Chain A
Amino acid sequence: MPGAFLWFIVFLLIVTSTGLLVSREWRWSIALLAGQYAAAFWLVEQHWPLTMAAAKLVTGWMAAAVLGMTQINVKSYPAVETSWPQGRTFRLFSAGLVLLAVFTVSPQMTGWLPGLELPNAAGALVLISLGLLHLGMTANALRVTLGLLTLLLGFETLYATVENSVLVAGLLSAVTLGLALTGSYLVTLTTAEDGA
């Protein structure tokens, strides 16, 4: 696969994960999550058979669908976090700083795991670091789930270069779906509490 295409994928991952961080509209968040899985599919597909990579893509989309369906039935979505920091500019600025660190570290990362190429390392680190940033800035159940799914997707992209066991792929898919279901459950609970 041409290197330029892989860098385009990394660019898409930057857009989707930064978008998830700053988005205040749940529909956009779910769409960005689905897009994120589609972009990560191309990175994973380099190391895994097409069928296994496709299974990961479908699992990710199912996770997005589960969260979306839950959110349809929930009236409120926290446009503003209860804790500092809240502003979009601040989030964009922090994402920029994190991305700077990612692109500084990723060349060293390639020597760390056998077969790991620079676009894969950069893409995985983008997801992991922005997922972590997301988790550090929120206490909302849906956003925590989105942050965890982003972080986990980054790790899966990295891990796919060294592990292609069907059992591991299956369990990681189970974890992705389980996280989405858990997130939906928690969203429903918090909404019921808010409404009570």
Chain B
Amino acid sequence: MNAPLLWIGLPLVLSALFFLLPRERWITWLSTLTALTLAALAYWLPPGTAQRIGTLSLRIEPSFSLLGRQLTLDAGDQTLLLLVYGMAAFWFFGTLAAGGARQVAGLGLAVIALLMASLAVRPFLYAALFIEVAVLVAIPLLAPPTPKQRAGPMRGLLRFLISQTFAMPFILLAGFLLSGVEAGPADVAQVVQAGILLLIGFAFLLAVFPLNTWIPLLAEEASPYALGFLLTMLNTFGLILALNFIDRFSWLRNSSQLPTVLQLVGIVTCVTAGVWAAFQRHLGRIAAYALIAETGVSLLAISLPDRQTGLQILFYLFLPRALALGVWTMSINILQATTGDLRFSAVQGLVRQYPAATAGVVFANLTLAGTPLLASFPVRQALWEHLAAQSLPLAFWFGIASLGLWLMAFRSLAVLTLDSSQTEWNSRESWPERILIGLGLLALFVLGLFPQLAQPLLHGFPAMFDFLGK
């Protein structure tokens, strides 16, 4: 057996097969099962290590040769495989309630496989090409062919395509220039050029301020659940690719300017998203700004002087982020299916008919604002403490960003509960919707109360890198 074929090739093939299935429910179940199986395989049979099962000795080969280059998934990637396919199973299963299984589960599996290929390709400088292919596959995911599932013109979608396509040339060229200065910055001018190209490339890829105007626009046009899934995955892989660059080049890793740049970009992205979220009147746009703020939070974590702690915070954040965004966008999707519109004027007073979805919107929002007892709180609190130890103004602005999201949660709650007609309480949600949102909310509280539960899953992440976190 071969790891890239198993965790990249197989999902690609299955994705094409699932996409052709006649019933969406089949796609949900089969893709969830596939993602769970791949996660379980990553847990029991990590690539590159021999495992004894009874009298049998099994070893999954870590490398696969493709057109003269290598795709490699080794034991260090075990945690990532586990986390990504575990997260995928959660999102795919959510389509039982949110709908759109053909897009999210069918195409989503292909998107994940391609993003995984971006981390497996050696030399890793070619990763940007796989990410671009994944972005192209993701277009039908965001704009399904049925007009019923779409909500308006496609300005956001076009900007998404342009923005993500811009990232590729910058990262590829920067990669080439950097390969010339791998050991140390012999030519300062070349290093500066490469650094600028890299910065621009990742600014487009991670959609930091001010290159993120397409996210709120897209949140008005596309299915919130599909968008939440895609951006969670793109963000996770984009951040890991950025860490790969930092890990690979010693001068970049030891640069004194890098933390400053990351800190500045991170806090500006976080504050602008948090503050602008507070002025939105559209549930989809609020979730979009929360997601942008999360990118800023991740960059702030990477910028911490104590790199070990920074990486732990960054990786821990992946889990509550995926959970909260999953619950949030699933709830929004349910509301959108009823009203067809997510503006405050349209969703006013829906709590009496959609109590679970309302709880999902409010608690997921509060989670990403770092509210106590909820999943993000322990790790955001740790980040806040480290930022405060470094600079009080920085901690103050981080607080402002969180406050913006916090206010928005209460504003959403006020709108959803504001009902002058005094309609009877009568939940119109289906049982799968109630159960899935309920389980998601339970997970958010459990992770908030017992953050150590995620520790065994995340402690293997630093093994992905040769130098970072060691």
Which A positions have Cβ atoms within 8 angstroms of B? Answer: 112-113, 135, 139, 141, 144, 148, 151-152, 155, 158-159, 162-163, 165-168, 170-172, 174-175, 178-179, 181-182, 185-186, 189-190, 192-193, 196
Contacts and interface: CB of A to CB of B under 8 A. Distances in A.
A171 B176 contact: no
Nearest to B70: A167
B129 A168 contact: yes
Given A112-B193, A196-B147, A166 B67 contact: yes
Given A168-B126, A179-B136, A182-B136, A162 B154 contact: no
B98 interface: no
Contacts of A168: 126, 129
Contact of B161 (A174, A182, A189): A182
Contact of B136 (A141, A178, A189, A190): A178
A159 B169 CA distance: 9
A181 B129 CA distance: 17
B463 to A, nearest CB: 26
B133 interface: yes
A165 B157 contact: no
A174 B168 CA distance: 13
User: Dominant SS at the B interface?
Assistant: helix
Given A171-B130, A178-B136, A193-B147, 15 more contacts: A141-B158, A144-B158, A148-B165, A159-B172, A166-B67, A167-B126, A170-B67, A175-B129, A175-B133, A182-B161, A185-B143, A186-B154, A186-B158, A189-B145, A190-B153
A112 B161 CA distance: 28
A192 B155 contact: no
B162 interface: yes
Nearest to B68: A166
A73 to B, nearest CB: 15
Nearest to A159: B172
Nearest to B117: A171
Given A144-B158, A186-B158, A175 B136 contact: yes
B173 to A, nearest CB: 7
B129 A152 contact: no
29 contacts: A141-B154, A144-B158, A148-B161, A148-B162, A148-B165, A155-B173, A159-B173, A159-B176, A162-B176, A163-B176, A165-B67, A165-B68, A167-B66, A167-B69, A168-B126, A168-B129, A172-B129, A174-B133, A175-B133, A175-B136, A178-B133, A179-B165, A182-B139, A182-B161, A185-B140, A189-B143, A189-B145, A189-B154, A192-B147
B97 to A, nearest CB: 26
A186 B144 CA distance: 10
A159 B173 CA distance: 7
B133 A171 contact: yes
Nearest to B145: A189
Nearest to A144: B158
A172 B67 CA distance: 13
Interface string B126-141: 1001101100110110
Contacts, number: 83
Q: Which 10 A-B pairs have the closest CB atoms?
A: A178-B136, A167-B67, A171-B129, A155-B169, A167-B69, A166-B67, A182-B139, A144-B158, A182-B136, A175-B132
A185 B147 CA distance: 13
Interface in B267-310: none
Contacts of B155: 139
Interface in B142-188: 143, 145, 147, 150, 153-155, 157-158, 161-162, 165, 168-169, 172-173, 176
B227 to A, nearest CB: 16
B161 A193 contact: no
Interface in B112-136: 121, 126, 129-130, 132-133, 136
Nearest to A149: B165
Contacts of B121: 167
Contacts of B173: 155, 158-159
Contacts of B69: 165, 167
Contacts of B158: 139, 141, 144, 186
A163 B372 CA distance: 51
A159 B177 CA distance: 11
A193 B153 contact: yes
A10 B218 CA distance: 38
Nearest to A162: B176
Interface string B327-369: 0000000000000000000000000000000000000000000
Contacts of B169: 151-152, 155, 159
Nearest to B155: A139
Contacts of A152: 165, 169
B126 A171 contact: yes
A190 B158 CA distance: 11
A193 B168 CA distance: 30
A44 to B, nearest CB: 15
A141 B161 CA distance: 10
A113 to B, nearest CB: 8
A186 B169 CA distance: 23
A193 B129 CA distance: 31
- Residue from the set B132, B155, B158, B169 with the largest chain A CB neighbour count within 10 Å: B158
Nearest to A138: B158
Contacts of A185: 139-140, 143
A139 to B, nearest CB: 6
A118 B172 CA distance: 21
B68 A144 contact: no
A167 B154 CA distance: 32
Contacts of A155: 169, 172-173
Nearest to B123: A165
Contacts of B133: 171, 174-175, 178
A151 B169 CA distance: 10
A54 to B, nearest CB: 17
